[in-house]
Structure 1
Amino acid sequence: MTRSFADRHIGPDSDDLARILGVIGVESLEAIAEKALPASILDGSGLDVLPPAISEHEVLAELAALAATNTVATSMIGLGYYDTLTPPVLVRGILENPAWYTAYTPYQPEISQGRLEALLNFQTMVSDLTGMEVANSSMLDEATAAAEAMTLLRRANKSKSPRFLVDKDIFPQTLAVIATRAEPLGIEVVSADLGAGLPDGEFFGVLAQVPGASGRVVDWTDLIASAHERGALVAIGADLLALTLVTPPGEIGADACFGTTQRFGVPMGFGGPHAGYLAVRNKHARQLPGRLVGVSVDADGDLAYRLALQTREQHIRREKATSNICTAQVLLAILAAMYASYHGADGLKAIARQVHRRAEEIAAALGSAVVHESFFDTVLVAVPGRAEGIVADARSRGINLHLVDADHVGISCDEATTDAHVDAVLAAFGAARQEPTFESIENRTSDYLTHPAFTRHRTETSMLRYLRALSDKDIALDRSMIPLGSCTMKLNATAEMEAITWPEFSRMHPFAPADQVAGLRSMIQDLETWLAAITGYDAVSLQPNAGSQGEYAGLLAIRRYHLSRGDDHRDICLIPSSAHGTNAASAVMVGLRVEVVKCRPNGDVDLDDLRAKIADHAERLAAIMITYPSTHGVYEHEVSELCAAVHDAGGQVYVDGANLNALVGLARPGKFGGDVSHLNLHKTFCIPHGGGGPGVGPVAVRSHLTEFLPGHPLAPELGDEGTVSAAPYGSASILPITWSYIRMMGADGLRRATLTAIASANYIARRLDEHFPVLYTGENGMVAHECILDLREITKRTGVTVDDVAKRLADYGFHAPTMSFPVAGTLMVEPTESENLDEVDEFCEAMIAIRAEIDKVGAGDWPVDDNPLRGAPHTAGCLVAEWNHPYSRETAVFPRGKSRPKVWPAVRRIDGAHGDRNLVCSCPPISAFSGM
């Protein structure tokens, strides 16, 4: 009998399932749903709109048919998106390699050294090219990087002015995202022609771009100096390829620099995912949002990498966080960094010169119609009354140009532009070639990308081995179960991934004519319909390109709903104390005030405290944000009463979709009280984490909030509400992953996946409870799809901490569960439905063996400060180094014998405090590696 895709995706077979159910003490998967979930919310309806499940080969055939309805034209639209030639070794070695795309965020740095090194290369690349001192490890896209730059300048400046000046020649999507972000924060965005100088009045910051949206290259030296004289800080958006030729913003005094690395080998993909960047001067390093890779040392004094400073700071500072960003675009940042490594400084400069030469050839032929004399890759042409005809003519020749208005056409060249493309463009204008005689724009004198990371790997052999050497230092899902609570590290099936590199999806410009993207539009419509049905909502926007952006978009919809009704006084957002830290940060970003609701000892929201808070703030209540199942991994049985109490007071209910993996096919938040949810497609719907990004965080709403979903200035079909991401449909090129997953699973498969995830979590809870008490359970003693193991009493009695257990798990070949979230001193475990019982049992046996080791410490057999747990993780070097420990080398590196393939941690335990005291966030000099 042929196995279905659901059978391949779901780990436990019928025999495994019988064992799991026997340990839990229930008769069937269906009985689990009845025992774990409140009867009042059980709802298996809605999935009848999903088409029947199909096989892997059938889904690829359907995807091919959809792809065939897209037209892959030559894109010369520009506006921040450019065709690029991704080296095949990077396509196969990174984008199509599960060792890279199934990795998790490097919160366990000892088993993440490969991707951390790659991200450090990214930071170095950005710092070198921009002339700035510190860059973070990527942003979600260019427009959100610009918005983060704006708020960073505001935090860093002592000015009391609310005004922020923006040059009129920036990309329209960047301006739209800045405007959306600014309004709830009370920032007044003033657009002006800054090339003519600064306007009168006070302002805290200035933002300009090089090259501008029109292609104009302006020397912003005088603007920056003038802004500084008037007490303002300056952010410059910069094209990294152009910066190989022109003086970088850091060398002319800019305080921050932002942009995208898309044209460094990352396909356009109808808008994403791409790695944005944000770089600052050293004095602003601690203001940087998102993630920052730093250099430190391990227990042996060897150089090691780890996430530095405020990483995950929104989980600690909550409403006082500088940003709600808790992710990055790691996979794409790594791709961009390796593109720079493969080409090197000389190769990048050669590409830039070729791009510029093509633009010069077009400009020379069009002569006096060219608007700007100084440009890099984009030529703006004045053709009064002829623009539409010229653009149509070019389209007939297979080329998309930018229709600026009735009188102007924009032409952008890129790495893929050929002589034939130039000739076709000129033919559309009715022009003939002329020899370019423009004054050179090359005025950069400083060196860049001189570190060996950018000089050693120019051959495919060298790059191939470098990528393999880095991935060998990491534990990803292709090597081991990653039992992370709240993060849902499930199978990312090959069939789901296959289409993302097809040119019909990957080479599409996000602002391409609608009739050229029929297949993509059809896929997007399917997903919107399916996700709405699965969640019980009425409409879905796919624009948010991360969970944090989905939260933000959902809260914006709530805020604008209240404003539309004249309820501008509603500004209180209730958030349980157990909630994800991003919830509070997102609420503040949309101008809401956070009030924390207590939780009961069993982890549930304290309804008495909730009712008291509602009574205190009834007239001002805007919303409550809850996670369901709760962040504690429990189905709260009073969720319907909670929602009703908030609605009765005029508030809206935001249900965080982080744990939707435990609801699909069983309950629908849009039907049990939610008004809005964001969904993590990179969790529940199989888009891989990629080492900490890409992600997609769609927002789903009930009908009364539909009109407040994100709009976009270049996608009129979406309306003109606030824009939250640079591209109209966010990270569209990875949507085939979720589309394929739903298409292959079907309604029954999705429901079975959810029930199996719950069953596996309860199995772990039963097996480990006597060794590590399970902190929270529901009314019937059940957990949801994850369970929290409580080590606090163990730590108090033995001195062994959650850190010790997490690091020791690496010696057993496992990635650690989520540490100390949502409760300090605990581990949150989520097996997911795609792990088979053998792997789940291996993890349980490892945890039980670790408990035996803890007991030895507690009994005094091993000292608290020198035992296998405190010494973990152990590297291969431990086998040959001097050994003065009270436990054997065998115990250190083969704690359960040699039954499981050994994954060798790359470094010993890392000293995080040393890294923060000695902040280094770019590639260390080669001398740092001497003797290693």
Structure 2
Amino acid sequence: MTRAIALHTDNEFIARHIGPGPADEQAMLDFLGFDSLDALSASVIPESIKGTSVLGLSAGQSEADALAAIKAIAQQNQLFKNYIGQGYYNTHTPAPILRNLLENPAWYTAYTPYQPEISQGRLEALLNFQTLISDLTGLPIANASLLDEATAAAEAMTFCKRLSKNKNSQRFFASSHCHPQTLAVLITRAEPLGIEVVIGDEHELADTDGFFGALLQYPASNGDIFDYRELVERFHAGNALVAVAADLLALTLLSPPGEFGADVAIGSAQRFGVPLGFGGPHAAYFSTRDSFKRDMPGRLVGVSVDRHGKSALRLAMQTREQHIRREKATSNICTAQVLLANIASMYAVYHGPAGLIQIARRTHQLTAILARGLTQLGVRVEQQHFFDTLTLATGGATERLHEQARAAGINLREVDAQRVGISLDETTRQADVEALWQLFHNASTQVVFQTLADEVGDQLPEPLLRQSAILQHPVFNRYHSETELMRYLRRLADKDLALDRTMIPLGSCTMKLNAASEMIPVTWAEFGQLHPFAPAAQSRGYQLLTDELESMLCAATGYDSVSLQPNAGSQGEYAGLLAIRAYHQSRGEAHRDICLIPSSAHGTNPATAHMAGMRVVVTACDARGNVDIEDLRAKAIEHGDKLAALMITYPSTHGVFEEGIREICAIIHDHGGQVYIDGANMNAMVGLCAPGKFGGDVSHLNLHKTFCIPHGGGGPGVGPIGVKAHLAPFLPGHAALERKQGAVCAAPFGSASILPITWMYIRMMGGDGLKRASQVAILNANYIARRLEQHYPILYAGSNGLVAHECILDVRPLKDSSGISVDDVAKRLIDFGFHAPTMSFPVAGTLMIEPTESESLEELDRFCNAMIQIREEIRAVEEGRLDREDNPLKNAPHTAAELVGEWTHAYSREQAVYPLPTLQENKYWPPVGRVDNVFGDRNLVCACPSIEAYQQA
């Protein structure tokens, strides 16, 4: 007798994403005193907002089915040969970088390197990036990347405003030769700050006085290479600072901005091995003079020493981080593009100076051959000097040329009705040049490639040829074989702790599983090789993807519309407040400029409000960390007719579902304001409650937190905003979208190429899976809080003693009793193989822990056991069994070199490095001891160490 086979139809992905299995989940529920996840979440979620979730999503799909579905979407994108340029270029991502960095979880699941001892590998890669930028731009100091070229230009504008001697000027000159998307973002950023952006042709600018700064493009967007030396001197004579947006590949051949007087250089590192990706993510760069380093936006990697005197890297001058400066911030940026900057830096390491120059020369040579051939065909090339871009005067034939080009699978740049543009790149071949000539075919003229190749020389202006050497440091001259590069990348990754090795329990940062099936589509050509300004008919797959993703996010949040453009959480905040600002203006209430922000808020909130032209008024919190509703009410009344918005994080930054959230929203609405609910903690709400349904008007979402896009070592991030219907007309615009004004970043869909990650996550989890993820995130956090509350005070909890998705341990009493600080606990955790929780935020001297739903009970217990053992060591200090100064916590972390050297400590080597027996099976060895922050800030070195120091090491 044959038995029928039972077909397995369950979605296996949900169980693979969520860490605890059924038995472990029940054990944790029993430990907490609940019989089900529903009972637990019912006790955590306030009654006033229960039932507000509108998560009407379909059931989750299996990994195979979801991949098949997104492949069908991807295949609706058409891959043409792109010669559009405009700051975006085809490039080859070297295979060893693709496999060993971009597709390697050791690199893409790492967190921002705030803990330098466990981040030496990615810090070295970023230091390489900074050195690359400094070398190519001719300016002595560079940051560790910004979000994209357009936002970097906006940062340069406000940078010039702060530092210019023309303190009373509100005028900023921007060359009409800049990329159009850059000018659009400049205008958006300038308007709330009262800055007048004057766009014009610098060659027709008779008077350079009265500006605080200027932005020039080099080479120009249309391809020209202008000699800016005299112009820069004129701006300087008028006390204006000059920023230059420069192409990095061109700078291998051209005199760098720093050598012709520029104060700032900005641009994109995209063409150094980073796929087009329909516009992002790409690493921008920012370099400047050494005297301006303390005013430079973004992160800066510098060189310090550890407690043994060994050289060690760290993020320098961390007080420059904008979330610390709050409303005094000069920018709200707290995200870099680390993963992409590291790809670009390794592209330079792999090719070396000779390789980069060869790529640049070959690209330029092909452009010169193309230009000569076009001239022979009777086409007027507007440029006398150029690098890789030509503008052709095509007159009445322009539209026909575009049609012919597309019929041949080619995209040219649509300059205007009378001209087309062509930009070549490292992927261009002889056959491509010949195919371009065919578009302009002239029966009476025969153009022979090889003949022109033998005749044509450089078309670069001789006075601007680069004379200075580039990339002389050994790191750019050693790893040119695949074997060497592969081992270098492995050696760097081995120095670090990422999610592939350990739980990263950072509160408010949501370091969860970035599943391999979610990551796979990112490197598909159909997503990676599409130009952001390709005709809409070629990007139907992306349009379908973004439409579906917007609908999914609306379902998750209860909002009516979503914009995917903001390419970081900070930019989502900014776009949200701009929408509120524009809404008030549309109603004749432009005077509304007061933004109420609770004292517990993340620091980007007040920084963003300041950037959006609002005045910040801080409201108090009570002893339990909740918003003081009476203080909020009083300030709403006080500022009634000027009230623009409230920015509030929910669940609170303290990790609690505030019961009065509906009342809080009602107070703001009653006084004419709008409610911005920060979505940083959305991981506790998806499927359980929806901000768009309980009072929010706008929220940004961190797709790199709640929705599984990896942190990448400190970027990429994606921060879309959801809004209620009345704010939808004020979402970010773009020249490529229906609404043309109000762009907040360069590309219409921001970091488009990583949106498939979130689409895959939501598609595989489905509505039930997403709800379960939120419930297990709450379960895991409460399990940790309950296990550790006997050893450390839990600072905040709801009225029922439960927390949301994170909990805060108060370490401050231990400082008084033992002299052990929160820093000591954090560094000691490294000896146990853990990244520290979030330190001293939102309360100084505390640790904020967020386990996420992806961590298993075994890993939660491993972390709890480490924290309990650390408490026992602190108790030994309190009781005098360990010395107050010479103890494992004060000296943590301990390196292998220290272990085998002369041992002078009162405690044993075994206690130092194997405080728990389980560590003998799987031990992480930090490459350096505790890094000296003060030394690093006083002795800042922000480029690769000298060749001599490198050789000595």
Counterpart Cα distance in 2 of 1:541 and 1:197? 38
- SS of the aligned residue for 1:891 comes to helix
Match of residue 387, structure 2, among 376, 382, 394: 376
Counterpart Cα distance in 1 of 2:81 and 2:40? 54
Matched, 1:927 2:938: no
Counterpart Cα distance in 1 of 2:315 and 2:432? 44
Match of residue 138, structure 2, among 107, 131, 136: 131
Q: Which amino acid aligns with 1:223?
A: L
- SS of the aligned residue for 1:655 comes to strand
Comparing 52-61 and 664-673, the one that deviates more: 52-61
Counterpart Cα distance in 1 of 2:707 and 2:781? 18
Q: Could you give the per-residue CA deviations for residues 455-502 of structure 1, whole angstroms, max 9, x where no partner exists?
A: 110000000000000000000000000000000000000000001011
Match of residue 53, structure 1, among 45, 48, 60: 60
**Structure 1 residue aligned with 2:928:** 907
- Give the CA deviation at 1:441: 3.7
- SS of the aligned residue for 1:75 comes to strand
Counterpart Cα distance in 2 of 1:197 and 1:590? 30
Work out the percentage of aligned pairs sharing the same amino acid.
60
Match of residue 433, structure 1, among 438, 443, 447: 447
Tell whether the 8 Å contact from 1:46 to 1:536 is kept in structure 2 after alignment. Answer: yes
Once the two structures are superposed, the pairs formed by residues 162-561 of structure 1 within 5 Å of their partners are 162-199=170-207, 201-310=209-318, 313-367=321-375, 369-430=380-441, 432-433=446-447, 435=452, 436=456, 439-441=459-461, 443-561=465-583
Q: Which amino acid aligns with 1:392?
A: E
Tell whether the 8 Å contact from 1:185 to 1:591 is kept in structure 2 after alignment. Answer: yes
Comparing 26-35 and 922-931, the one that deviates more: 922-931
- SS of the aligned residue for 1:389 comes to helix
Counterpart Cα distance in 2 of 1:385 and 1:31? 71
Q: Could you give the per-residue CA deviations for residues 8-63 of structure 1, whole angstroms, max 9, x where no partner exists?
A: 00000111011111121111100112101111112364222x23211111111112
Q: Which amino acid aligns with 2:103?
A: E
**Structure 1 residue aligned with 2:77:** 70
**Structure 2 residue aligned with 1:144:** 151
- Give the CA deviation at 1:829: 0.3
- Give the CA deviation at 1:720: 2.1
- Give the CA deviation at 1:322: 1.3
- SS of the aligned residue for 1:264 comes to coil
Counterpart Cα distance in 2 of 1:528 and 1:257? 36
- SS of the aligned residue for 2:656 comes to coil
**Structure 2 residue aligned with 1:730:** 750
**Structure 2 residue aligned with 1:633:** 655
- SS of the aligned residue for 1:672 comes to coil
- Give the CA deviation at 1:522: 0.3
**Structure 2 residue aligned with 1:684:** 706
Matched, 1:86 2:83: no
**Structure 2 residue aligned with 1:757:** 777
- SS of the aligned residue for 1:7 comes to helix
- Give the CA deviation at 1:201: 4.4
Normalization by structure 2: what TM-score? 0.96
Tell whether the 8 Å contact from 1:810 to 1:905 is kept in structure 2 after alignment. Answer: yes
Tell whether the 8 Å contact from 1:115 to 1:470 is kept in structure 2 after alignment. Answer: yes
Comparing 436-445 and 797-806, the one that deviates more: 436-445
Counterpart Cα distance in 2 of 1:802 and 1:930? 37
- Give the CA deviation at 1:312: 5.8
- Give the CA deviation at 1:864: 1.8
**Structure 2 residue aligned with 1:802:** 822
Q: Which amino acid aligns with 1:919?
A: L
- SS of the aligned residue for 2:916 comes to strand
Matched, 1:788 2:808: yes
Match of residue 846, structure 1, among 839, 862, 866: 866
Tell whether the 8 Å contact from 1:547 to 1:680 is kept in structure 2 after alignment. Answer: yes
Counterpart Cα distance in 2 of 1:926 and 1:894? 37
Tell whether the 8 Å contact from 1:166 to 1:189 is kept in structure 2 after alignment. Answer: yes
Counterpart Cα distance in 2 of 1:899 and 1:873? 16
Tell whether the 8 Å contact from 1:140 to 1:275 is kept in structure 2 after alignment. Answer: yes
- SS of the aligned residue for 2:352 comes to helix
Counterpart Cα distance in 2 of 1:439 and 1:41? 67
- Give the CA deviation at 1:926: 3.3
Counterpart Cα distance in 1 of 2:334 and 2:203? 36
Once the two structures are superposed, the pairs formed by residues 820-839 of structure 1 within 5 Å of their partners are 820-839=840-859
Q: Could you give the per-residue CA deviations for residues 154-191 of structure 1, whole angstroms, max 9, x where no partner exists?
A: 11113111000011011110000000000000110001
Counterpart Cα distance in 1 of 2:947 and 2:225? 36
**Structure 2 residue aligned with 1:878:** 898
- SS of the aligned residue for 2:47 comes to coil
Q: Could you give the per-residue CA deviations for residues 602-626 of structure 1, whole angstroms, max 9, x where no partner exists?
A: 0000011101111110110000000
Change (3 A) 1:441 1:346: farther
**Structure 1 residue aligned with 2:163:** 156
Q: Could you give the per-residue CA deviations for residues 127-158 of structure 1, whole angstroms, max 9, x where no partner exists?
A: 00000011000000000000000000111113
Q: Which amino acid aligns with 1:259?
A: G
**Structure 2 residue aligned with 1:107:** 114
Tell whether the 8 Å contact from 2:208 to 2:238 is kept in structure 1 after alignment. Answer: no
Q: Could you give the per-residue CA deviations for residues 800-856 of structure 1, whole angstroms, max 9, x where no partner exists?
A: 011000000000011110000000000000000000000000000000000000011
Tell whether the 8 Å contact from 1:259 to 1:278 is kept in structure 2 after alignment. Answer: yes
Counterpart Cα distance in 1 of 2:435 and 2:47? 65
Q: Could you give the per-residue CA deviations for residues 756-804 of structure 1, whole angstroms, max 9, x where no partner exists?
A: 0000000000000110110000111110000000011111111101100
Q: Which amino acid aligns with 1:771?
A: H
- SS of the aligned residue for 2:750 comes to coil
Counterpart Cα distance in 2 of 1:14 and 1:312? 45
Q: Which amino acid aligns with 1:38?
A: P
Matched, 1:779 2:779: no
Comparing 191-200 and 533-542, the one that deviates more: 191-200
- SS of the aligned residue for 2:532 comes to coil
Counterpart Cα distance in 1 of 2:403 and 2:537? 13
Q: Could you give the per-residue CA deviations for residues 235-290 of structure 1, whole angstroms, max 9, x where no partner exists?
A: 00000000000000001110000000000000000000000001110011011111
**Structure 2 residue aligned with 1:594:** 616
- SS of the aligned residue for 1:427 comes to helix
**Structure 2 residue aligned with 1:860:** 880
Tell whether the 8 Å contact from 1:144 to 1:724 is kept in structure 2 after alignment. Answer: yes
- Give the CA deviation at 1:440: 3.6
* RMSD after superposition: 1.2
- SS of the aligned residue for 1:669 comes to coil
**Structure 2 residue aligned with 1:716:** 737
**Structure 1 residue aligned with 2:5:** none
Tell whether the 8 Å contact from 1:286 to 1:310 is kept in structure 2 after alignment. Answer: no
Tell whether the 8 Å contact from 2:165 to 2:240 is kept in structure 1 after alignment. Answer: no
Match of residue 768, structure 1, among 779, 788, 798: 788
Counterpart Cα distance in 2 of 1:207 and 1:900? 57
**Structure 1 residue aligned with 2:31:** 23
Number of aligned residues: 929
- SS of the aligned residue for 2:475 comes to helix
Q: Could you give the per-residue CA deviations for residues 64-89 of structure 1, whole angstroms, max 9, x where no partner exists?
A: 11111111111100010000011000
- SS of the aligned residue for 2:573 comes to helix
- SS of the aligned residue for 1:385 comes to helix
Q: Could you give the per-residue CA deviations for residues 102-128 of structure 1, whole angstroms, max 9, x where no partner exists?
A: 000001100000000000000000000
Where do 5+ consecutive residues of structure 2 fail to align?
A: 1-7
Counterpart Cα distance in 2 of 1:416 and 1:562? 49
Q: Which runs of 4+ in 1 moved over 4 A?
A: 929-932
Counterpart Cα distance in 2 of 1:200 and 1:622? 38
